[in-house]
Amino acid sequence: MDPMYLALSLFRRRHYDKCIDICTSILDKQPLDQAAWCLKMRALTQRVYVDDLESEESPQDDVLDENVVASAPRPGTSLKSTSTAVPFTALGARPRTATGRPISGVVRPGTQTGRPGSALDRLKTSRGTTAQSARAIRLGTAAMLTQKDGPFIQVSRLNLAKYAKIKTLNKPLFEYLFYHEGDIRNAMELAVLATQHCEFKDWYWKIQLAKCYSALNLIRDAEQQIRSALKQHPHIESYIRLIRIYIRLDQPLSAISLCKQGLEVFPNDVSIMTELARLTEALNEPQSSVKYYRSIVIEDAMNTEAIACIGMYHFYNNQPELALRYYRRVLSMGAHSPELYNNLGLCCLYSQQLDLTLACFQRALDLATDPLIKADVWYNLSYVAIAAGDIGLAIQCLNLCLVADPTHASAFNNLAVLHHRSGKPHLAKAYFTSAREHQPELPEPGINLEVLQDA
């Protein structure tokens, strides 16, 4: 069998390691084979490819950021002020994770911003693939030559102006530089040269330029590129990327308006409706959010995020039986996560299905590897102990919660209440003070501390 044909077959079947080995053997015999060079480049990219539209993380706040619009925005016009000023309603006061969003059994883009990590660890990539001839072989230049013990491509020797004019190579080369190598500067230079070569008529390169600008935190430049691309060719990816840019600029109303414009062009599109549902939930509009999630379920009955969020809505509206049905639906679809079993345990507890409560929490503890998630599971187990009337077990669960997460303010607050009931007011005061220091925006520790001092 022809080695090139076998490599293509392996690439289509996603056997990227074997495809890379065959392409390497071809390049050893004929180092200037552009087809094998391009295929190996795409296989290396696809091996570590993650769709950034589903895994995008917002960068950490920068004190030198020039994109801040207002330091004191009007109520309902900012996502940052919404998270700190939560209304005292059943849905607004629900417990949140250390990353700042309620536990719903799913992880969304942008919800892991509290984790440490650099911008390069959250490298963004393109979604599209390239159409090219599999056997269009032409000899390349010395820049394609690779050393056996060195890098696959010597980027410093690449003539980017030349490769930007080759339609069969410029897109795979950009994705390789941007995603596999993490070389934003050279990737952006290639995108600029390719855009100039096509006389600014190819919307694809404008989106790639916007991705490079976003990675370099040049938000306004990225916005201009995406809006120009939308004028040439309306695409779902372009709408979503522009929505994410407005979220980074803390302009949720502009993002919502853009979502509605996108739904006029692409009616009932699940990805755009998901962005709209997330935005309305972040603005503390649960009724509007659950309405969009129900529309998503109508279009995509296997959407776990929508089902889990609808279940969360019913749970905090004192309907644990309905919430249990939705979470069981997610479980039957094959999802297994500690958050899901934690929510199932809480639904079973408040639905009086006590025989399943401890089994669900035990499963959640077995699956929990993140200390923050394990802390939340122990925190919820303390409520099970309180419901059973075992105050000693509840205190032990809260202590285990603090072992996993020493900054869990709600655990400090509840531990203080239990110690106060046990006749230890001085210890309770110390725990209330610790809770207020770790999370000043949490209202309960301050109120409880005032009541304790008045008594």
Give the domain ranges of the chain.
Answer: 1-51
Q: Is the pLDDT of residue 107 over 90?
A: no
State percent of the chain over pLDDT 70.
79
Per residue in 252-281, pLDDT (tens digit) is 999 999 999 999 999 999 999 999 999 999
DSSP designation for 102: B
d(CA 242, CA 99): 24
d(CA 310, CA 118): 33
Query: What backbone torsions phi and psi does residue 139 show, to the nearest 5 degrees?
Result: -70, 140
Least confident of 110-114, 115-119, 350-354: 115-119
Instruction: Return the axis-axis angle of helices 338-350 and 304-315, rounded to nearest 10°.
Output: 30
Per residue in 330-359, pLDDT (tens digit) is 999 988 899 999 999 999 999 988 889 999
Q: What is the pLDDT of residue 22?
A: 93
Per residue in 152-164, pLDDT (tens digit) is 888 878 889 998 9
Please name the residues in contact with 21: beta carbons below 8 A apart, sequence gap of 6 or more: none
Q: What angle do CA 203, 204, 209 make, to 5 degrees?
A: 95
Q: Is 51 left (phi over 0), alpha (psi -120 to 50) or beta?
A: beta
Residue 23: how many CA atoms within 13 Å on its side-chain side? 27
Per residue in 2-13, pLDDT (tens digit) is 899 999 999 999
Q: What is the pLDDT of residue 246?
A: 93
Of 309, 248, 249, give the one whose Cα is nearest residue 273. 309
The number of beta carbons lying within 10 Å of the beta carbon of residue 242 is 24
Better-predicted residue by pLDDT, 58 or 291: 291
d(CA 241, CA 219): 11
Better-predicted residue by pLDDT, 15 or 109: 15
pLDDT class for 452, splitting at 50, 70, 90? confident
Q: What is the pLDDT of residue 149?
A: 54
Instruction: Look up the pTM and report it.
Output: 0.77
DSSP reduced 3-state for 139: strand
pLDDT class for 97, splitting at 50, 70, 90? low
Averaged pLDDT of the chain = 82
Amino acid at 12: R
Amino acid at 361: F
Q: What is the pLDDT of residue 182?
A: 87
Can you say how many angstroms the Cα of residue 112 is from the centroid of all Cα atoms in its chain?
Answer: 7
d(CA 348, CA 358): 9
State percent of the chain over pLDDT 90.
55
Q: What angle do CA 294, 299, 302 make, to 5 degrees?
A: 85
Per residue in 180-238, pLDDT (tens digit) is 888 899 999 999 999 999 999 999 999 999 999 998 989 999 999 999 999 999 999 99
The beta-strand segments (E) located in 56-176 are none
Cβ–Cβ under 8 Å, residues 49 and 125: yes
